């Protein structure tokens, strides 16, 4: 495992690979979002109980899925960074954190928009909603803790530990509707007996989920590439500053 990971630990190798993948991920995102939104807003039927309010689902559900998925990616990258000292794993975790926070915010906001007409309130301290809010705070904490230390290495290590500890919240979010009596509806797509949602709604939902995932890959690669380039620039500046100090010392010694 360590040998496999270290094969991709070279930033130059990652930059070459991401240069190939990035245009495809961005193109897929640009292709899927218009199709998914058209099917969600126009092509799919209104729900017999929820009416057109059900269309919020096509943004809310993929955002909620991605909020949990991105945290899983961040926690896995943090584990790799702690165990194998993979140089790109920490960059990946830090790059994923604000993206996951954005997905979580969208899930919470669209859930509130749906809850007002359906439940008669914007917010309830429901098990699913509360655990999702905790996830949002975990993302914010992960982002903040990086800059809480003067030593970047200590900040990265503390953020990785927080990510791993907070990972216990992901299964709590997923199974909260089964473990507790909540207002939130139970799972209707990923079920042992198959989806309970109609195919006319399932297809738009699936396309939107793929659009969200390709968007995540696109932005993650962009952020990681930017972080690597910024590190290269810092390294060059430090080298130039060191050369200047050496030159100045030589002049003084004369």
The domain spanning residue 136 has which CATH number? 1.20.120
Is 17 inside a domain boundary? no
Scan for tokens 């998925």, then name that residue: 69
Is 4 inside a domain boundary? no
Tell me the C-alpha distance between 153 and 185, whole Å: 43
Q: Report pLDDT for 191.
A: 63
Is 210 inside a domain boundary? yes
Return the HEC string of the chain.
CHHHHHHCCCHHHHHHHHHHHHHHHHHHHHHHHHHHHHHHHHHCCCECCCEHHHHHHHHHHHHHHHHHHHHHHHHHHHHHHHHHCCHHHHHHHHHHHHHHHHHHHHHHHHHHHHHHHHHCCCCCCCHHHHHHHHHHHHHHHHHHHHCCCCCHHHHHHHHHHHHHHHCCHHHHHHHHHHHCCCCCCCCCCCCCCCCCCCHHHHHHHHHHHHHHHHHHHHHHHHHHHHHHHHHHHHHHHHHHHHHHHHHHHHHHHC
Q: Is 96 within 8 Å of 73 (Cβ atoms)? A: yes
Is 162 inside a domain boundary? yes
Is 16 inside a domain boundary? no
Q: Is 93 within 8 Å of 160 (Cβ atoms)? A: yes
Q: How many domains is the chain built from? A: 1
Tell me how far apart the terminal alpha carbons of the chain are, to the nearest angstrom: 54
Is 176 inside a domain boundary? yes
Q: What is the pLDDT along the chain (254 residues), one digit of tens a residue?
A: 444 455 656 888 899 999 999 999 999 999 999 999 999 999 999 887 788 888 999 999 999 999 999 999 999 999 999 998 887 999 999 999 999 999 999 999 999 999 888 888 888 888 899 999 999 999 999 999 988 988 888 999 999 999 999 999 999 998 887 777 776 777 677 666 667 688 888 999 999 999 999 999 999 999 999 999 998 898 788 777 766 655 545 555 55
Rounded to the nearest angstrom, the gap between the alpha carbon of residue 33 and the centroid of all alpha carbons in its chain is 18
| Residue 143 structural domain | 50-217
Tell me the C-alpha distance between 185 and 179, whole Å: 13
Tell me the C-alpha distance between 79 and 3, whole Å: 16
Q: Is 102 within 8 Å of 63 (Cβ atoms)? A: no
- In this structure, what token pair is assigned to residue 209? 């989920």
Tell me the C-alpha distance between 84 and 80, whole Å: 5
Q: Is 127 within 8 Å of 176 (Cβ atoms)? A: yes
Q: Is 101 within 8 Å of 33 (Cβ atoms)? A: no
Q: Report pLDDT for 7.
A: 61
Q: Report pLDDT for 8.
A: 59
Q: Report pLDDT for 3.
A: 47
Q: Report pLDDT for 193.
A: 63
Is 129 inside a domain boundary? yes
Cβ atoms < 10 Å from Cβ of 79: 17
Is 136 inside a domain boundary? yes
């Amino acid at each position: 495992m360590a040998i496999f990971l270290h094969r991709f630990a070279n930033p130059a190798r990652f930059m070459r690979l991401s240069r190939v993948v990035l245009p495809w991920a961005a193109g897929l995102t640009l292709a899927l979002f218009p199709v998914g939104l058209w099917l969600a807003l126009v092509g799919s039927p209104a729900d017999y109980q929820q009416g057109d309010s059900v269309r919020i689902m096509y943004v809310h559900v993929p955002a909620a899925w991605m909020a949990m998925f991105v945290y899983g990616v961040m926690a896995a990258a943090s584990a790799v960074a702690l165990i194998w000292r993979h140089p790109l794993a920490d960059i990946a975790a830090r790059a994923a954190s604000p993206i996951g926070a954005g997905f979580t915010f969208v899930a919470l906001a669209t859930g509130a928009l749906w809850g007002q007409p359906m439940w008669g309130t914007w917010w309830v301290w429901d098990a699913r909603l509360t655990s999702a809010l905790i996830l949002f705070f975990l993302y914010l904490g992960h982002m903040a803790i990086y800059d809480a230390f003067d030593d970047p290495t200590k900040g990265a290590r503390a953020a990785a530990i927080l990510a791993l500890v907070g990972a216990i919240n992901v299964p709590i979010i997923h199974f909260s509707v089964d473990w507790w009596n909540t207002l939130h509806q139970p799972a209707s797509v990923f079920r042992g007996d198959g989806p309970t949602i109609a195919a006319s709604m399932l297809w738009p939902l699936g396309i939107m989920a793929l659009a969200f995932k390709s968007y995540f890959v696109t932005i993650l690669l962009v952020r990681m590439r930017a972080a690597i380039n910024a590190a290269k620039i810092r390294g060059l500046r430090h080298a130039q500053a060191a050369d200047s100090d050496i030159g100045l010392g030589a002049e003084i010694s004369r």
